[in-house]
Structure 1
């Protein structure tokens, strides 16, 4: 495959060859970055005082896959969270297999670090985050809302056609679900079923009296795209009826911008502590040789999250005006 420009709308990515990006701004003012690496064999964390600084930050490898067993292949989509004074990484992993039959039999896991610096501290495996089924599961995220901690993930229900739906549950601790588990979205629209029938990669954001979950759909080639769920901020988030799904995708491939297969996003905040930022991955070319999952060129982009007049995230406008956040001038 030849050399490709890794730019969208003339803007270079924040970090090349990092898919499923996740950026967290901690109370120390620093930004922390995790993502899937092309080898799918480890979890790295980067730290910098600015968003732009993440591009040059030296990654620290905090965990590597096992040689055998269920934690030995396809380490996907880590997220880093700080909960009750400790660090947690959520990720998905599969197992090695001579016939490759198990390579996509993922389960979700949690790591814990009680040290102040997650790049240098000791990480402990807390085990599998167990759900109602033993089936393909991945792309977990967590958030606190109105005094409760929630966990949202993608999973295959053995009784439902398709690859993965989105589910939500409360948590009794950072690695244990409690109470009912509710399906809040399934790939029932045509644009969610291209190549694979997929809803995955959930990311939560609140604005005013509404909450939103952005997610990704379809195969991981140029058909990959984003959808949006929304609910009232005071609604019961465990009630599927509380959530409304956008009937159309909110972000898709845009050949004019040079953006292909955008998705698996998250949200963070700019250095002013207020401006929301949209973090996502995308390729900068359409044609892929072989399985898209093994094409390494899904790059991390970051831009200001813009909003529509009626208060919804405007992903298309955010990307159309793509501009990587600059470091604030020092006084």
Structure 2
């Protein structure tokens, strides 16, 4: 019998990302609530991530484009090296109270990404010079793809989802293609948002989950689906869920689940959904700096047509903080 997952798996880490490597470790990163660093930890089980030693592998710059609001890091492997994708804003956006993030990449050639040197590979540039964030990457049929959220000033809303192929882990090679924009009622509460894409390839299909609405109780997940043999750069290959596939569950005390990723059980038999959620709705202070979006995980079921069934966020099994202080 598989070990029961005890939630939260990591405290106060929003936008969680878990990479299960061939060395038997789960590598974890997520947004630190002070938004000033990129952190990593590893463990042999998801439950053990909770108390694993965490180290900061990169810190924001004193000034310039990498000096503010470090968001949503993800750790990936490509060409036998480690890469971290993240978003950062310049210090200038503090003055006009707007977000002006761009997407960046770090590289590490060490076997263990908690060691060695992380080298800045620069900005991942797209055709638009606008607010962009939440990049993820995946390999399919021998090619690397890049999926991210970005604002188009000619489209109503704060961010849409785009896809492109990559010529290397820090450079896109094809024209960005928009896959979805916020338009349905559950995507436009508080903010008009499609963000936080995560890719899952299984049962002959390619799935991309994403999150919509503002990051409070209305935050929820949608789903894009394509056949694995289709042209993933053709928007017509993708079908979008008309209703959220994962959302708040007051009965279980979980609110605003989203910004997920996927991993698997130690034996590889089960697909695991990793996401963040809060277990209360009354926030104190600026919601951006409210630290208690906890990283959580649970098993996904599968339907007869080979599509994921996410269910609802499960109840907590571990203590969680409920004050606005950041844990040390």
Q: TM-score normalized by structure 2?
A: 0.92
Please state whether the residue corresponding to 2:186 is helix, strand or coil: helix
Distance across 2 between alignment mates of 1:322 and 1:299? 10
Q: Deviations over 1:203-246 (max 9, x none)?
A: 00011111100000000111101000001110000000001000
Say yes or no: does 1:196 pair with 2:191: yes
Distance 1:268 1:323, change over 3 A: farther
User: Which residue in 1 is equivalent to 2:290?
Assistant: 295
Do the aligned residues in 2 keep the contact of 1:94 with 1:102 (CA within 8 Å)?
Answer: no
Tell me the matched-pair count: 314
| Corresponding residue to 1:100 among 85, 92, 95 | 95
User: Which residue in 1 is equivalent to 2:309?
Assistant: 314
Distance across 2 between alignment mates of 1:182 and 1:68? 32
User: Which residue in 2 is equivalent to 1:5?
Assistant: none
Say yes or no: does 1:37 pair with 2:42: no
| Corresponding residue to 2:135 among 119, 124, 140 | 140
Do the aligned residues in 2 keep the contact of 1:303 with 1:322 (CA within 8 Å)?
Answer: no
Say yes or no: does 1:71 pair with 2:66: yes
| Corresponding residue to 2:211 among 216, 220, 225 | 216
Structure 1 gaps of 5+ residues are 1-9, 325-331
User: Which residue in 1 is equivalent to 2:150?
Assistant: 155
Do the aligned residues in 1 keep the contact of 2:8 with 2:316 (CA within 8 Å)?
Answer: no
Distance 1:98 1:85, change over 3 A: closer
User: Which residue in 1 is equivalent to 2:54?
Assistant: 59
Distance across 2 between alignment mates of 1:150 and 1:129? 13
| CA RMSD in angstroms, aligned pairs only | 1.7
Structure 2 gaps of 5+ residues are 319-328
Tell me how far 1:101 sits from its aligned partner.
2.2
| Corresponding residue to 1:174 among 169, 175, 199 | 169
Distance 1:143 1:322, change over 3 A: farther
Distance across 2 between alignment mates of 1:82 and 1:206? 16
| Corresponding residue to 2:262 among 260, 267, 287 | 267
Distance across 1 between alignment mates of 2:93 and 2:20? 41
Do the aligned residues in 2 keep the contact of 1:95 with 1:102 (CA within 8 Å)?
Answer: no
Distance 1:241 1:97, change over 3 A: same
Distance across 2 between alignment mates of 1:100 and 1:216? 28
Distance across 2 between alignment mates of 1:102 and 1:248? 32
Do the aligned residues in 1 keep the contact of 2:6 with 2:47 (CA within 8 Å)?
Answer: no
